[in-house]
Amino acid sequence: MDLPELIEELSHLTAPSRRVDAKLALVAGWQRKATRTKGDVNVIWLFPGEEVNRLPEFTNSLDAALELVGILAPGHLGGFSWGGGGKAQLNDGEIAEGVNPAVALCLAALKARRRNA
């Protein structure tokens, strides 16, 4: 997915989204591996050097969002706030606003990635 489209989608979220979490994971380098066993589908998310059984909840968890920041914008300094939504900023980049602080951090990371591309 193209970064501007994902930034736009994140900007308009009204709640955390597992679908958007999957898109963020793919942008960050995760790979999705699905296997079928007796009609059931088992999905494993792979990140270089490790195997994760569950997709991180980037748009719902501050821990997961901070992990994403470390991958997409390593070495950046920043902060976030909450109360009536969330705001985040990395280095001297623009302030990102989201439905919660996790979404704001994801937005700030994507915008930093786009700026440094």
pLDDT per position as a tens digit, 84-102: 899 999 999 999 999 999 9
Q: What percent of the chain has pLDDT over 70?
A: 97
**DSSP characters over 58-110:** TTT-HHHHHHHHHHHSTT--EEEEESSSEEEEETTSPPEEESSHHHHHHHHHH
Q: Which two tokens stand for residue 82?
A: 């909450």
When pLDDT is averaged across residues 67-75 and rounded to a whole number, the result is 95
- Which residue type does 6 have? L
Distance CA 86, CA 52 (A): 27
Give me the chain's average pLDDT, please.
92
Q: Looking at residue 43, what DSSP letter applies?
A: E
Strand partners, 36: 41
- pLDDT surpassing 80 at residue 48: no
- Sorted by where each starts, the structural domains of the chain and their CATH numbers stand as 3-116 (3.30.2120)
